[in-house]
Structures are given as structure tokens and as C-alpha cells.
């Protein structure tokens, strides 16, 4: 069983953003930065939705990617272009390592005291194979003797 690691998801999100919005023009920060950031910039956050067993061999998991965009100067057209750009970046499939995850709902909202800071949310659900494979050696030959009484 190999669960997708949240750290790998965060790295994949940040690399995707850097490909379209390269540094140094845009910076990407984590939620630990609360002051001293340079706009324009993105803050990324991964929110785990938890997981649960579906069957003996499969579990369902999910997470939400939140991308918050801070502008140097307020501009609604620029914000809407960022929404379209981020939607295009994620498309239908989001890759994390060798995994390809189906992208669910992508939505945006405005947050902050004046409701003027763009935040894009990307919902991703997935199934995980939880089957444990025996890693012991397999028998190469088996000898069978049948006697009749």
C-alpha cells in the first residue's frame, strides 16, 4: 500500500504553478508566511479530506488544493485571467509523481477583509489500492507423490 504523500502533492502543485507563473515575477509561499511576502504571489495549501476503506482492497481519499493570489495592484481582469490560467493548468488530470489523479470541481471565491483576494479551490478524490502483497519468495518447484491404497 502506497498512499500519496501530502508533501508530494504540495511539490507538484508548486511546480505546476512555477511552470506558468515563473519566479522571480511571481513567488510561491506556504501558509507559514504571514507577513513580508512580495506581491504578485501565490499561497498554496493542501487540505486533506481524509480517507476511508471502501472494500478490503481499496480505500477512498481526497484533498483540496487552495491557491490564493495576492496582486501588487487590485485588478479584477487579472484575477479572472489567473482563474482561467489555473483551470487550464490543472485540466482534467493532475500528476503527482507517477500517479495521475482526476481533477474534480474547480471553483473560485474572493476572501479577505474587503473580499478582494482571489482564492481558487481544486477538489481531487482518488482511490488507493490497499492490498498488501506478500514479498516472500515463491516456490519454484513442487514435488507431488500420489499413492493408491
Give the chain's end-to-end CA distance (angstroms, integer): 48
Cell of 14: 508548486
Tell whether 37 is covered by a domain. yes
Tell whether 57 is covered by a domain. yes
Residue 2 has what pLDDT? 61
Mean pLDDT over 97-115 rounds to: 97
Give the 3-state secondary structure of residue 65: strand
Tell whether 80 is covered by a domain. yes
pLDDT higher than threshold 90 for residue 73: yes
Looking at the structure of the chain, the number of domains it has is 1
In this prediction, residue 1 has a pLDDT band, given cuts at 50, 70 and 90, of: very low
Q: Whole-model pTM?
A: 0.85
Amino acid at each position: 500500500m502506497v498512499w500519496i504523500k501530502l508533501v508530494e502533492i504540495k511539490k507538484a502543485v508548486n511546480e505546476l504553478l512555477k511552470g506558468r507563473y515563473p519566479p522571480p515575477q511571481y513567488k510561491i509561499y506556504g501558509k507559514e508566511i504571514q507577513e513580508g511576502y512580495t506581491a504578485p504571489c501565490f499561497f498554496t495549501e493542501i487540505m486533506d479530506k481524509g480517507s476511508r476503506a471502501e472494500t478490503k482492497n481499496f480505500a477512498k481519499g481526497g484533498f483540496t488544493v487552495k491557491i490564493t493570489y495576492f496582486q501588487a495592484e487590485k485588478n479584477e481582469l487579472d484575477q479572472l485571467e489567473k482563474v482561467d490560467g489555473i483551470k487550464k493548468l490543472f485540466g482534467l488530470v493532475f500528476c503527482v509523481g507517477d500517479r495521475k489523479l482526476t481533477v474534480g470541481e474547480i471553483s473560485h471565491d474572493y476572501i479577505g477583509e474587503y473580499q478582494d483576494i482571489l482564492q481558487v479551490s481544486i477538489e481531487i478524490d482518488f482511490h488507493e489500492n490497499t492490498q498488501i502483497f506478500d514479498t516472500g519468495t515463491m516456490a519454484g518447484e513442487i514435488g507431488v507423490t500420489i499413492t493408491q491404497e
